[in-house]
Every structure is written in C-alpha cells, then in structure tokens.
Amino acid sequence: MKIINIVGARPNFMKIAPIVEAMKPYPNLEGILLHTGQHYDDAMSRIFFDELDLPKPDIYLGVGSGSHAQQTAAVMIAFEQVLKDHQPDLVLVVGDVNSTLACSLTAAKLGIPVAHVEAGLRSYDRQMPEEINRIVTDALSDFLFTTSKLAGENLTREGIPKEKIFFVGNVMIDTLQNHLVQARQQGTPAKLDVSAGDYVLLTLHRPSNVDNRDILSSLLDALGEIQKDIPIIFPVHPRTMERIHKFDLRGKLENAPDLRVMEPLGYLPFLDLMANAKLVLTDSGGIQEETTILGIPCLTIRENTERPITLTEGTNTLVSTDPQKILHETQLILDGKGKIGDIPELWDGHAAERVVQILNYILGDRKPT
Ligand code: UD1
C-alpha cells in the first residue's frame, strides 16, 4: 500500500516525523515523503529535517511563497501530476496550512482517500486562513485523526460520520517527548546569555497580529514594557520581520534592548528555550500545546483558539492583543501565579503509532513484523 505523506510548512515537520517513523515496521506500507516547498528557507525547513531525522523528501514541489490562491493553486497543479504518476492508495496530511488544503483537495478530486491528522480543531473564526483550511480538509477526508474528544464532537456536529473519526492523541507531542532530553542538553539559555526560569520566550507571526500596523505597533509597545522587568527572547518569523521593516517600526526594537531579536531557531534549541522559560508569549497554535505538556505558562496573543483543551486542562490563557491584558497576565505569572495544568488524555507519545495501526488495519489488515 502506497501512502504519500505531505509536509509544506514549519509546523508540519514535527507532526509528520513520528508518523514516518511509525510506518517503518510495516513492510506492506510504502511511505513516500512529499515536501511542497511552501516554506523553503533553511531556518524554516531544512534544519528540521536534520534535527528530527526526517529522510530527504522523495518529492519536492518547490512552490514557495505567494498569495493564498497562488500558493494553493501551485501546489494543486504540481501535486495532481504526482498523483497521476504514483497512483497512491492514500494521501496523509497534517495540520492546517495551505499545503494541507491543496493536497487534500487534489487527492479528493481524483478519488484518492485522504487521512487528516489533527482533524476537528475549530476556532470558529473564519478570518483565520487556517480555519478555512481545517473545515475544507476535514470535509474531504476519509480518515480523521483527532487530538481530543472535543475535536471529534466538532466533526460530528458538522455531519461527519463517527466511523471516520479516530481519537488518537497528539503526534506533535510524540515528537516533543522523543526529543526533550536531547533538547535540554543544548544549553540554549546560557548561549543566549539568559538564566533558566528568568526570561520570556516570544513568537509572533499571525497575519491578524503582524499585518496591521496599529496592532503590531501596540504589541511592540507592550513588549517594550515587559522587557524592562525580564528579558524577552524573540526568534522572528520572516513575515514579521518583513512587516516591522515595511511599517517602519524598527525604532521600537532599538528602544527595547532586552527584547532580543534573532533569526528563527531550530526545533531543539526552541524546545530547550520553551522548557526553561518563565513564560511563553505566542500567537502560534502548536506552542499552546507544547507549553501545556511542559507545564510552562503560556499567554496566547489571540482572541480565540482552536485548541481550547490547552485553556481548560493546560497552562494556556488567552490575552487578546490588548496591551493592558497582556501586561496584567504577564505580571501575574512573574508574581508566581501562573497556571498549573494537566496532561490531556492520550497525549502520551504514542499517537503516531495509533494512526498507523488504524490505517494498516483498515487498509491493509496485516500485522507489523
Ligand atoms: C504558514 C501557515 C501557518 C503556520 C506558519 C508557521 C498557512 C495559511 N499558514 O504561515 O498556519 O503557523 O506557516 O510558520 O499555510 N517566508 C520566507 N521564507 C520561508 C517561508 C515564508 O521568507 O521559508 C515569508 C515570505 O515572505 C512569505 C511569508 O513568509 O510570503 C508567509 O509565508 P506563508 O507560507 O505564506 O505563511 P506563514 O505566515 O509562514
């Protein structure tokens, strides 16, 4: 049975890695790794292949950046030919990026079954491009693997039959658990001249936060205040750096010496920094989950989240883009009043094994060797 595993953008790599690994013991499963090239910088792509021991992609589409329509269409056109040439039995997509949508749509149109790992997440905010990608991908998928029971309930409310939904846990947490010891040996805080437990880690890249000058400017002001009390480590996404330049906001960085701006980091140093932070400020999706597992307080700079389990069971708090709220919640954590969370059900490091067992059972019905 031939399965094409899809990656495209940074958050995909840590999700596909344990799935590729889990397929190895099954001689009847032939996994083909395809990289769309949505992310192409070394720091956004290649470094993760090295750190996560991912094999070099068998197929690289090299689509690069563009508007949503350009990027999605470029992936679809290139991927359609791949499907015709390879005739796979299944296409497996992860997450919610444009590559996820483009590949599932192309496969579905050719009648090729689609498996979606991390199905059923909903922010109910269609201004977020990822929300549209999630809804369409889930509607087209034949196998929907979820990280929580709530995600399964979201899917059944949308009319997706229960037989297609499998609650397996969180593959990104498999990768975290597989790499935590190695990450902690990196000594990243010391290399960046901060002490464990005495810095804030920050990421910011959502269009809703960085594409609007007023919002980005007021966020940088709030960060300018926080860095007076505690250093902030800020590995900057290329889109955010581009906007800071375009909106002429570099002065705000120069006036904040302890807002320490740097290139995007690899998986291991970033995980090391998360695990040792006093708190994490972010607008990422995956980081809300990773901090929950690490027991590190996380303040999410968004109005909503598609990962509510991190609020109800984990260490996450939504702070919106309101500077007062951000400063208030940060102060609570600095005063030792951060949230202490639990580990969500089945986030146990074995989610990818469950995904592959289920696929093998349904499609191949053979035992691993
Ligand atoms: C994409 C995903 C988002 C994910 C994020 C992680 C979609 C809709 N969004 O957003 O869900 O959280 O990846 O990073 O798929 N760029 C580079 N080098 C690269 C890649 C991008 O410089 O290797 C710059 C380009 O200017 C590009 C911009 O970043 O136009 C945005 O890239 P894009 O892939 O469109 O979306 P992200 O914001 O990265």
Q: What confidence tens digit (pLDDT) does each residue in 122-149 have?
A: 999 999 999 999 999 999 999 999 999 9
| Same structural domain, 119 and 160 | yes
Query: Which residue in 139, 143, 62, 133 sits closest to 100, CA to CA?
Result: 133
The answer to whether residue 300 is domain-embedded is yes
Active-site annotation holds for 205: yes
**Burial (CB count within 10 angstroms: exposed 0-12, middle 13-18, buried 19+), residue 163:** exposed
Q: Is the shortest distance between the CB of 63 and ligand 1 below 6 Å?
A: no
Domain around 49: 2-170+347-363
In a domain, 177, yes or no: no
**Is 206 close to ligand 1, i.e. is its CB under 6 Å away?**
no
CA of 239 to the centre of ligand 1 (A): 7
* pLDDT for position 367: 46
What are the residue ranges in the chain where pLDDT is below 70?
365-369
Q: Is residue 154 domain-shared with residue 211, that is, in the same domain?
A: no
Residues 209, 103, single domain; the answer is no
Same domain, 330 and 256: yes
* Distance between Cα 207 and ligand 1 center (Å): 10
Residues making up the chain, counted from first to last: 369
Quote the pLDDT of residue 195: 98
Look at residue 364 in the predicted model and tell me its pLDDT. Answer: 76
C-beta of 97 in contact with ligand 1 (< 6 A): yes
Name residue 30's beta-bridge partners.
2
Sheet containing strand 200-202, edge to edge, reads 259-262, 232-235, 200-202, 279-282, 298-300, 316-318
Three-state DSSP class for 261?
strand
Residues 166 and 20 in one domain: yes
> For position 365, what pLDDT does the model report?
61
| Residue tagged 């979606």 (tokens) | 116
* pLDDT tens-digit series, residues 274-304: 999 999 999 999 999 999 999 999 999 999 9
User: Could you tell me if 19 and 119 lie in one domain?
Assistant: yes
Q: How far is the CA of 120 from the centre of ligand 1 (A)?
A: 22
d(CA 99, CA 205): 18
145 shares its domain with 248 = no
Assigned domain for 234 exists? yes
Look at residue 369 and tell me if it is in a domain: no
Q: Is residue 135 a part of any domain in this protein?
A: yes
- In degrees rounded to 5, what are phi and psi of residue 185? -85, 0
Residues 221 and 329 in one domain: yes
Same domain, 120 and 247: no
Angle among Cα 64, 217, 259 to the nearest 5 degrees reads 85
The CATH number covering residue 317 comes to 3.40.50.2000
The count of domains in the chain is: 2
Pair 83, 139 in one domain: yes
pTM: 0.97
215 and 161 housed in the same domain = no
| Structural domain includes residue 342 | no
Ligand 1 neighbour 40 (Cβ under 6 A): yes
39 alpha carbon – ligand 1 mean position (Å): 6
- State whether 24 and 164 are in the same domain: yes
* Set 39, 116, 179, 205: catalytic member: 205
Ligand 1 atom nearest to CA at 285: 12
Does ligand 1 lie within 6 Å of residue 205's CB atom? Answer: yes
pLDDT at residue 119 in the model: 99
Q: Is 70 in the pocket of ligand 1 (CB under 6 A)?
A: no
- How many whole angstroms separate alpha carbon 186 and alpha carbon 44? 19
